[in-house]
Structures are given as structure tokens and as C-alpha cells.
Structure 1
């Protein structure tokens, strides 16, 4: 069992999608981590613009720039939205954010309509691992990496608009959510 796991891991590592996160966005990720884990702050929800808004703005930006609507960009953005909605509760939240998630995301509401750029950016950190399990041809993978980088540059260009400069004092109590997390 262990051998097959090791083999699978090494095989998928070779195919890892490389996502170059610009340095200003890396700093954003570090600040985000610090606000939440060190300073007990939370992102105030719902966010505006939310993930859906940001993806739509990017689609508009691309179609103006390219002079046409490309199906592949729309497909990638739909994929990002799906990955975001599925990954958020599982791997994108810090422990201190879980209680807020359960309060903010009701029955049929998708996280992409509530959360914003702060959480979307975290997806790009996890994306290489997630995409390692998807069967993608080499050529498609290269194009996907280019499009993801272009999207990150768009986020970077709009960093002042999309990201919060300050977080809310959180209602996190150290005891909240224990038991649910494990």
C-alpha cells in the first residue's frame, strides 16, 4: 500500500502545474495568514466584489483585450469557480474561519457568491496539488498555466480594489468550533 502511494505521489509531482504567484500577491497571502491566525481578525462577509464578480470582471477584461469572447477563458473561469466552491470548506479555510463559514454559507448558497479575493488567492496556492489529479495533455497544461498567470496578473493589477486593507476584529473564541474541525 505504501509503495503505491509513494509511486502515485512521485508521478503526480512531475506533472505538477506551476503557478507563479506575483510577489505582491505572495505578500497579500502572508498578511492574510497573519491577520487571521496571529491577530484574530476575519474577512468581513459577504465580500464585495465576491469571487463571482471578480471572475466576471476578468472575463469582460479579457474579451475587451482580445476583441472577442474566448470559450477557453470562460471554461477556465467556470473551473476555477467550481474548484473554489468545493475546495473552500475543505482546504482553503483556516481553523479560526470555520465557524464563520458555517454561519455565512447557508443551504444552497455558493461560497463564490460570499467570499472574495482573499480566499480566491488561497486557491492558487493549492491549485498545483488539485490539478495533479486531473488528466490534462501537456499542451493544454501549458496554455492553462499561461491563462492562470494572466488571471493572477489581473488580480495583482486590481489588488487595491479586490482585496481588503483591513480585516474585522473577529468573534473567534479559542474554544469555538472544536470537535467540528477534527
Structure 2
């Protein structure tokens, strides 16, 4: 009952925004959720870090996704290229700030030096962690509801490709 009252007090546009943000998480593939849990357990509980550089890298995964879209659609859409470019950018900035577990910090400092992009070193495990954080990151972006929904559909397509 308390939650229902709280929800009733939220302005309509905020409710819509919250529902669209949860779209990504509600449709997150179960196999990838399991992968995230296993990854967390390996790193935080067993102290096992992924070997770097990963193969394929985040860069490689996003490039392969674009190739997959070209084969499927016989062309590359500007929005698809833009989303993958944005994801790569978000990944490179978010990795050291919010995607690494404490036990991975030292490894990051050893691997990422100079102008090396994290997306050319890290792989799918860390990319999945970004997808979990995206709803939170997107909530601070001022974006039309329709554009946000289209973006989330593209992100879900990338997740299905990863699966």
C-alpha cells in the first residue's frame, strides 16, 4: 500500500521515464544475468581476475555487432553506428569510475597506460556490467521519451547479439 501511494504521487512523465528505464533491465537475457553473477563470484569471492587483453575486446564485439546489422539489414543505420560509438565512449569513461570491482583496480592500472582505450583491452564481462549501469546513467540524460525507448530497443538488440 505504501508503495502504491508513493507511485501515485509521482508525476506522470516521471512514471513513464521510470518504466522505460526498467525496460532494459526487465528484458535483460537470463543467461547474461547468470554470466554477471558468475563474473561477480569469480572476482569478488574467488579472487580470479579475467586475463587481459580479452578476446574479443569490447571494441571487437561492437564492430562485430555492426557487421551483423549490415548483413541483416543490407546497410548500416546511422543510429546503430551512433549507439555503438556512444557505448564505446561510455564504456571507456565508466570502466575505471564504476565498472571495476576493488580487486580489479590494480590490474586496470597495470594494463591501461597512456592513450590505451579500455575498450581495446576489456571484453564482454565488463561490457555487461555497463549494461546494468545504463538505466542509471540514462536517467540523468535529458532525452525525449520516444528517443529513449528507441535507444533501449537498440541496446536490447545488442544484448541479444551478445547472448
TM bracket, shorter-chain basis: 0.7 to 0.9
Task: Give the TM-score normalised by structure 1.
Answer: 0.78
For residues 125 and 153 of structure 2, what CA distance do their matches in structure 1 show?
21
Q: Output one character per residue of 1:62-115: Cα deviation in whole Å (capped at 9) or x when no partner.
A: 011011110000000001001100000010000000000000000110000000
Q: Where does residue 111 of structure 2 map in the other structure?
A: 104
Which residue, 25, 28, 31 being the options, matches 2:38?
A: 31
**Matching residue of 2:93:** 86
Q: Which has the higher helix share?
A: 2
CA distance in 2, matches of 1:73, 1:64: 13
TM-score normalized by structure 2?
0.86
Partner in structure 1 of residue 137 of structure 2: 130
Displacement over 6 Å in runs of 4+: 10-13
* 1:163 aligned residue: none
- What are structure 1's unaligned runs of at least 5 residues? 1-9, 157-182
1:153 to 131, 141, 160: 160
Deviations 1:132-154 (A, max 9, x none): 11111111111111111110000
**Aligned residue pair count:** 147
By how many angstroms is 1:48 displaced?
1.0
Structure 2 residue ranges without an equivalent (≥5) = 1-9
Aligned alpha-carbon RMSD (Å): 1.5
